[in-house]
Structure 1
Amino acid sequence: MLQEPLAGRLHSVYPDGDAAIRQTDSDAALARYSAVQKRYFTDPFIKYLVPRGAQYQPPRPPLINIGTYVRSEGVDKLVSEFFELSKQDQKQCQIVNLGAGSDSRFWRIAAGPNGGQLAAYIEIDFPEITTKKAMAIRKSRELSALLGKPEDITLSNGGTALHSPVYQLLPADMRLPPSEAMNALLALPGVDGRPLLSPSLPTLLLFECVLVYMSPEASAALMQWFVDYFAAAEEGSVLGGVVYEMFGLNDPFGKVMLNNLKARNVALPGAEPYVDIKSLAQRFLQHGFSTARALTLRDIRQFCISPEELDRISQLEMLDEVEELDLVLEHYAITWGAKIFSNVEETRVDWTKWGLKNERRT
């Protein structure tokens, strides 16, 4: 298990380790593909984004499949509720997926009931990653069809960027100062001459295994850039954030995780400030977010997934390593926060109530 952590798109502070780090995007995509094949959840689009020959890969062990499932359920629930609150607020919303890698979320949203609620979906990652994804999109009729008319889909920056009316795929190294890394966001026009990222719409930032691989200073600067971008607007809206990452790596199990990743030339500088679950909320609170909370994947599995659903997945595969599963899930967490700007105090909904719900309450 520790040879293949549940990490998604990894970002290291060591440039010479970038090749190995980018390779973990394929690991994450194959883990999701394995969970889909085992019927933990449905995702008709991931097969177009995994490496060639994925169908010949052996399935991942149950421990990885379950971890992938819990992570997906937790993030999916937060995204779905963000859409629901945006509807109640009678607004479309935007999503910025940083370190998106081979994620299929845009297509799942576009093909589902919230497709019309999405004003913009922006993905940002290393140019090597975005090039591969742009090629996969262009090759797949199923992926391209959900982006719009063929004439509305264009490539730029030597094939590292892809643009469509709603979906944008942009290359950037997020370890750089945000004034450099986020220039692509500011340079591109959106629909009807509006900014590509409108500060007047509820916006959700997704960081799935990204910030933990950056220095605390770099991740803080990136978060602050978005806060400042919305705060400077006359019609600033709600800014939400979701972080999925490892934490609490100062215990024996965590040190084993660190050593295994170090052997793969991957460092975790972003984990150092977050020694326990309580400290994770500081990721957002230090930037003036109105609310922030974190739950381990173990707690999400225990409290935020219905008993009926847990019963269903328990029948998919035999799991002998329950104690090891709990130990792994205790070292991964989902943190979420919302910043409500002063000029949206009369919003129709209470955004502070956004979050994962306890499914076990009677």
Structure 2
Amino acid sequence: MFPPRPRVPEGDAAIRATDNDAALARLSAVRRGYLTDPFITPLVPRAHLEPSRPPLINIGTYVRSEALDELVNGWLALSAQEGAKCQIVSMGAGSDTRFWRIATGPSRDNLARYIEIDFPEITTKKAMAIRKSKDLSAVLGKPEDVSLANGGTALHSPVYHLLAADLRLPPAESLAPLLTTGPEPLLSPSLPTLLLFECVLVYMSPAASGSLLQWFTDYFSSQSSSPTSSPSVLGCIVYEMFALGDQFGKVMVNNLKARNVSLPGAEPYPTFESLPNRFLKHGWEVAKALTLKDIRREYISQAELERISQLEMLDEIEELELVLAHYAITWGVKLPSNADGLKAQWREWSIKRKATS
């Protein structure tokens, strides 16, 4: 007698399940010594029962994390050079721990506000996990300054804000009421602001993701051009799959289809050269991209490569490079029209080469 087939999530549940995959991958990479993150365990239910992931997943998680960390830390440093604190908006944040890592690190005083947005089912679980964990809740501030809202789907503290929304809806309907209403909107138009999308836009239609980026572009452009508003700069980092039309990409797509997950957002980006168009079509001045394959080969120091090579045996180098070649980090900058003095340093915001160090 055959065992019962595991139930495959459908619709939004299938997309939400990808957050669990990412959290388990990070937990595995931390336990194996690739990364340091004391905050991931409280966000993974029954973490002690979870097995390690294969080396290929651990290495991919490491490369992704190192590159994203460098870009985010670089943004914080550039904001500090301008004498301003910055705000970060992480959309589809899921079980991400970035706020806690920043808030307990050397750049904590450079962060004015950290906003996470996701499905209400995700934010409810995260809010509960935060409240149950002394390690997570202690970082938010005094208990009396931390509160749940909207039936437990939202959480607010002096710096960290967890909000529920469906990013596929028109931004005027989903984001504006959360971020821009009231005399003191949660999203300040006068602070350097960084948007984060880690495997989010690829699950959305190109029209929906385009509307999302255009809404932020319009909000900051209209505010920074006002004579009563100080200039602000808008940045964005996108991490996701691309170039899925080749044989290996089609295998990735079919594997996800078997889990009821589709990738409509990958269609406009069939090649590496097409990736910067995500920002250029919205009038952004800076648009750059790197594949994880290139980052591993050219942007991670030899000492680090040697260190992680000692952690686990990896035989499938060709398979690793095939996978990494289909994931990219794309980043861009929209400069305020009345801030010529800001342009040079923000144009240089990037991942630095380290392979020869």
TM-score of the superposition, structure 2-length normalised? 0.94
Stretches of structure 1 lacking an aligned partner (at least 5 in a row): 1-14
Superposition pairs for residues 280-295 of structure 1, below 5 Å? Answer: 280-295=275-290
Which whole-Å CA distance do the structure 1 matches of 2:68 and 2:246 have between them?
26
Q: What displacement does 1:186 show?
A: 3.1
CA gap 1:211/1:286 in 2 versus in 1, 3 angstroms: same
Residue 303 (1) aligns with residue 293 (2): no
In the other structure, the counterpart of 1:157 is 150
In the other structure, the counterpart of 1:43 is 37
CA gap 1:287/1:187 in 2 versus in 1, 3 angstroms: closer
Residue 81 (1) aligns with residue 74 (2): yes
The answer to whether the Cα contact below 8 Å between 2:335 and 2:343 also exists between their aligned partners in 1 is: no
Q: 1:257 aligns with which of 245, 252, 265?
A: 252
* Count of aligned pairs: 344
Q: 1:96 aligns with which of 85, 89, 94?
A: 89
The answer to whether the Cα contact below 8 Å between 1:85 and 1:349 also exists between their aligned partners in 2 is: no
CA gap 1:188/1:30 in 2 versus in 1, 3 angstroms: farther
Letter in 1 for 2:246: D
| Corresponding residue SS for 1:77 | helix
Superposition pairs for residues 126-165 of structure 1, below 5 Å? Answer: 126-165=119-158
The answer to whether the Cα contact below 8 Å between 2:301 and 2:356 also exists between their aligned partners in 1 is: no
Q: What displacement does 1:220 show?
A: 0.2
| Corresponding residue SS for 2:162 | strand
In the other structure, the counterpart of 1:72 is 65
Which string of whole-angstrom CA distances, capped at 9 and with x for unpartnered residues, describes residues 282-341 of structure 1? Answer: 111111111111110000001111111111001100001000000000000000111111
In the other structure, the counterpart of 1:316 is 311
Which whole-Å CA distance do the structure 2 matches of 1:230 and 1:307 have between them?
40
In the other structure, the counterpart of 1:166 is 159
Identity %: 67
Which whole-Å CA distance do the structure 2 matches of 1:133 and 1:310 have between them?
33
Letter in 2 for 1:138: R
Q: 2:353 aligns with which of 348, 358, 361?
A: 358
In the other structure, the counterpart of 1:334 is 329
| Corresponding residue SS for 1:347 | helix
Which string of whole-angstrom CA distances, capped at 9 and with x for unpartnered residues, describes residues 102-136 of structure 1? Answer: 00000000000111110000000000000000000
| Corresponding residue SS for 2:341 | coil
In the other structure, the counterpart of 1:11 is none
Which whole-Å CA distance do the structure 1 matches of 2:63 and 2:184 have between them?
37
* CA RMSD after TM alignment: 1.4
In the other structure, the counterpart of 2:3 is none
In the other structure, the counterpart of 1:217 is 207
Which string of whole-angstrom CA distances, capped at 9 and with x for unpartnered residues, describes residues 20-51 of structure 1? Answer: 2211211110110000000101000001111x
Letter in 1 for 2:355: R
Q: What displacement does 1:361 show?
A: 5.3
Q: What displacement does 1:62 show?
A: 0.2
In the other structure, the counterpart of 1:271 is 266
Residue 203 (1) aligns with residue 193 (2): yes
The answer to whether the Cα contact below 8 Å between 2:104 and 2:139 also exists between their aligned partners in 1 is: yes
Which whole-Å CA distance do the structure 2 matches of 1:291 and 1:179 have between them?
26
CA gap 1:201/1:257 in 2 versus in 1, 3 angstroms: same
| Corresponding residue SS for 2:338 | helix
The answer to whether the Cα contact below 8 Å between 2:89 and 2:114 also exists between their aligned partners in 1 is: yes
Letter in 2 for 1:249: L
TM-score of the superposition, structure 1-length normalised? 0.92
